[in-house]
């Protein structure tokens, strides 16, 4: 077998892998990528991007059902599900092609196939086209991502019980849907299908939906979901799923009682696990803990010259976290001095209706960490732009250290908060205090004014509420 040598070899072409490869090339390192399926990874092909295309269609569906609020009337409103799904797939395909172009532009070759570490800085690639090739690299970055988790008795079959992949390409619109899990993936699908007309029940094992979010935001979101007609069961355990001819009956334990729920389809959204199998880790000193590779502050593993980034390296499972880790990793390899990842500065976004976004500590976690806190809140109903948009339901919450004025966390629910959150992320990253935020001028009329007012409210100075 022929052997080609590189400075950096990236295994996986998702948002962590391809960004790492491009940054490495920019730094003058001879770099290559091995990708077994689609450039852009799960995020671009089966996750972040195509789900946002679907959710855009569901937002339009919601608006069409409420045209009278804006002075319009229309008859016979309907949708073509095939076209909705096709548009989502075309968006994903376009962006996957864009990644291919970016790698080519940066002179990064892509090997189409599956990689296996051999140890000693060598990787064997089983090529899609047939045959094998051995590659050598001083630095190997594992960016193999993750997949949906299955639990015994709760396995997706692709027909009646869906993972995220099947949920993204439904052949027909189910009349009723059961979603197991209320994290970002589960709630986004629940939101899409409810806005498209399905009856939706969400089952969450923990005591609230969106359990990683601040408790106030979680409670507010739950009320909005229920107002839209979703049924939400929290503190509920799915004991078993029984498949019928064209439906599934779930046995749910909630509040000490057992209930049976029958739905056309079930979506499993019970977490993910890293793709650590069949990549040759047994030939290295790389450690795996609970399905994820153990890494240090610069994404290094226990095997010299081997690194891991993104979902395979553990939570939070976010594309932007993976990309940033890729940059940190290769800049360290290149001899630069990047800052290690500060997870408290990673924003989290859920694109349901209403949207949810946050960064940093929740109020409860800030108190648990020993902070004396000042908390500000501002409701959407107090904002002119929100009322003009017809989006008066929402709130912004900020958490500050009472002694230093440090912004500890920001939590938002409502229209466009996934775009607004970056203002607080910049503030946290720049270590701004309440003083700088109070003296920042926010344009009027904008939704961002609520961010200012929430800061002011934490110090008893809110103007408009």
183 is in an annotated binding site: yes
187 in a known ligand binding site: yes
188 is in an annotated binding site: yes
Q: Is 40 annotated as a binding residue?
A: no
Annotation-wise, does 185 bind a ligand?
Answer: yes
Helix locations, 272-416, DSSP H? 319-333, 363-368, 384-389
Is 391 annotated as ligand-binding? no
Q: Which of 339, 439, 444, 464 is catalytic?
A: 444
Torsion angle of the four alpha carbons 298, 303, 304, 306, in this order, in degrees rounded to the nearest 10: -60
Spatial distance between the Cα atoms of 176 and 180, rounded to a whole number of angstroms: 13
C-alpha span between 440 and 259 (Å, rounded): 53
The gap between the terminal CA atoms of the chain, to the nearest Å, is 71
How far is residue 179 from each of residues 83, 187, 256, 406, measured CA to CA in Å?
Answer: 24, 8, 21, 38
Residue 186 counted as an annotated binding residue? yes
Classify residue 223 as exposed, middle or buried by CB count within 10 Å of its CB (0-12, 13-18, 19+). Answer: exposed
* Residue 394 labeled ligand binder: no
CA distances from 180 to 117, 262, 388, 391, 404 (A): 36, 13, 36, 28, 42
444 is catalytic: yes
Length of the chain: 465
Ligand-binding annotation for 311, yes or no, is yes
255 Cβ neighbours under 8 A, 6+ residues apart: 235
Could you tell me the sign of the dihedral formed by the alpha carbons of 65, 71, 75, 79, in that order?
Answer: negative
CA atoms within 13 A on the CB side of 55: 21
Count of CA atoms in the C-beta half-sphere (13 A) of 98:
11
Beta bridge partners of 9: 32, 140
**Does the annotation flag 184 for ligand binding?**
yes
Tokens of 68: 């009278």
Q: Are 49 and 164 in contact (CB under 8 A)?
A: no
Q: Which residues carry a binding-site annotation for FAD?
A: 52, 311
Q: Which residues carry a binding-site annotation?
A: 52, 181-188, 204, 271, 311
The residues annotated as belonging to the active site are 444
Q: Which residues carry a binding-site annotation for NAD(+)?
A: 181-188, 204, 271
């Amino acid at each position: 077998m022929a052997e080609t040598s590189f400075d950096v070899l990236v295994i996986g072409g998702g948002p962590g892998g391809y960004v790492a490869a491009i940054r490495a090339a920019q730094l003058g390192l001879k770099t290559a990528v091995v990708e077994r399926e689609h450039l852009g990874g799960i995020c671009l092909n089966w996750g972040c991007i195509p789900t946002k295309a679907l959710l855009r269609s569901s937002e339009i569906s919601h608006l069409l059902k409420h045209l009278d609020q804006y002075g319009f009337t229309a008859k016979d409103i309907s949708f073509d599900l095939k076209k909705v799904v096709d548009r989502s797939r075309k968006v994903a395909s376009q962006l996957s092609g864009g990644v291919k172009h970016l790698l080519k532009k940066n002179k990064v070759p892509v090997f189409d196939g599956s990689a296996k570490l051999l140890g000693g800085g060598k990787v064997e690639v089983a090529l899609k086209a047939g045959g094998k090739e051995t590659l050598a690299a001083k630095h190997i970055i594992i960016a193999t991502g993750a997949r949906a988790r299955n639990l015994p008795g709760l396995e997706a079959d692709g027909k009646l019980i869906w993972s995220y992949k099947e949920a993204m390409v439904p052949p027909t619109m189910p009349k009723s849907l059961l979603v197991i899990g209320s994290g970002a993936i589960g709630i986004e699908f629940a939101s899409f299908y409810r806005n498209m007309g399905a009856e939706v029940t969400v089952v969450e094992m923990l005591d609230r939906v969106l359990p990683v979010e601040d408790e106030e935001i979680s409670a507010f979101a739950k009320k909005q979901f229920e107002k839209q007609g979703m049924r939400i069961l929290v503190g509920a355990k799915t004991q078993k799923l029984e498949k019928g001819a064209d439906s599934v009956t779930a046995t749910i334990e909630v509040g000490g009682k057992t209930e049976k729920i029958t739905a056309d389809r079930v979506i499993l959204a019970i977490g993910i696990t890293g793709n650590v199998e069949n990549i040759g880790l047994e030939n290295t000193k790389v450690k795996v803990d609970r399905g994820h590779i153990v890494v240090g502050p610069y994404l290094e593993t226990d095997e010299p010259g081997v690194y891991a980034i993104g979902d395979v390296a553990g939570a939070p499972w976010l594309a932007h976290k993976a990309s940033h880790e890729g940059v940190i990793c290769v800049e360290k390899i290149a001899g630069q001095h990047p800052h290690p990842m500060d997870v408290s500065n990673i924003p989290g976004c859920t694109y349901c209706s209403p949207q949810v976004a946050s960064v940093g500590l929740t109020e409860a976690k800030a108190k648990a960490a020993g902070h004396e806190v000042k908390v500000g809140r501002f409701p959407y109903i107090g904002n002119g732009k929100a009322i003009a948009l017809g989006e008066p339901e929402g709130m912004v919450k900020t958490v500050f250290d009472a002694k230093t004025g440090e912004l500890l966390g920001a939590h938002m629910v409502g229209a466009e908060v996934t775009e607004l959150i970056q203002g607080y992320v910049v503030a946290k990253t720049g270590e701004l205090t309440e003083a700088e935020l109070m003296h920042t001028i926010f344009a009027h009329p904008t939704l961002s004014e609520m961010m200012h007012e929430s800061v002011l409210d934490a110090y008893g100075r809110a103007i408009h509420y």
